[in-house]
């Protein structure tokens, strides 16, 4: 159905890209945001909406949503739990950890021995350190013997949070 068949097939058209650049700091907070964007970019409102729908269908946009400052919501403890899981078991166990309702992101990442032996990352948020540790204990239980070590990295400051940004298209393309 989609005209975007593969990543190499230039997933983003120049017009999609203009929409991304126009909205990366936020969607207009007006009754008809598509018309508002259309006015800015000289594009019919229904085309703006169709392009957004298509970008969401192809996964370029996960969703159009609110991003909270989790500290302000009371989730002051943001624990990046990291686990050293045997390579044989990580695919299966990673799926299980990712399905735990309190795990917001779960990825396999490379080790950097000898400094960094953890290959499974699961992000856990809580209103207290106890809550994060209780959740980590549940992860530990699921991993069982396949896990030989873990730690929790708490964030103590947000140093930057701008989200992903595209630059305005330059002349070179």
Partner 1 sequence: MSAIAERSKSSDDKPTLPEFTPLERAIINRLQYGLPLTPAPYKDVADELGVSEVTLLQHLKALLDNGTLTRFGPMFHAGEMGGGLTLAAMRIPEADFSRVTEQVNSFPEVAHNYRREHELNMWFVLATETPEGIIETIQRIESLTGYPVYNMPKEQEFHVHLHFEV
Of 15, 39, 44, 64, the one binding partner 1 by CB under 8 A: 64
Instruction: Please state the separation of Cα 76 from the chain's center in Å.
Output: 19
Q: Is-contact 173 123, C-beta < 8 A?
A: no
Length of the chain equals: 173
Residue 51 beta carbon to partner 1: minimum distance, rounded to whole angstroms: 10
172 binds partner 1 (CB under 8 A): no
Residues in binding contact with partner 1, number by CB under 8 A: 85
Of 2, 113, 114, 167, the one binding partner 1 by CB under 8 A: 167
Using CA atoms, how far residue 112 sits from 53, 84, 108, 109, 133, in Å, is 40, 11, 13, 10, 25
91 binds partner 1 (CB under 8 A): yes
Of 141, 162, 168, 172, the one binding partner 1 by CB under 8 A: 162
Give the nearer residue to partner 1 in terms of CB position, either 128 or 148: 128
């Amino acid at each position: 159905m989609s005209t975007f068949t593969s990543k190499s097939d230039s997933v983003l058209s120049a017009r999609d890209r203009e929409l991304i650049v126009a909205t990366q700091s936020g969607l207009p907070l007006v009754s008809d945001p598509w018309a508002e964007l259309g006015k800015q970019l000289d594009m019919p409102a229904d085309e703006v909406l169709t392009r957004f729908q298509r970008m969401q269908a192809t996964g370029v946009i996960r969703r159009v949503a609110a991003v909270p400052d989790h500290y302000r919501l009371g989730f002051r403890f943001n624990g990046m739990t990291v686990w050293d899981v045997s390579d044989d078991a990580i695919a299966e166990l990673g799926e299980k950890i990712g399905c735990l309702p309190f795990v917001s992101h779960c990825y396999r990442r490379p080790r950097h021995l000898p400094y960094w032996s953890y290959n499974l990352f699961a992000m856990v948020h809580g209103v207290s350190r106890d809550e994060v540790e209780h959740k980590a204990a549940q992860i530990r239980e699921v991993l069982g013997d396949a896990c030989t070590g873990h730690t929790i990295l708490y964030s103590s400051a947000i140093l930057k949070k701008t989200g992903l940004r595209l630059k305005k298209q330059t002349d070179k393309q």
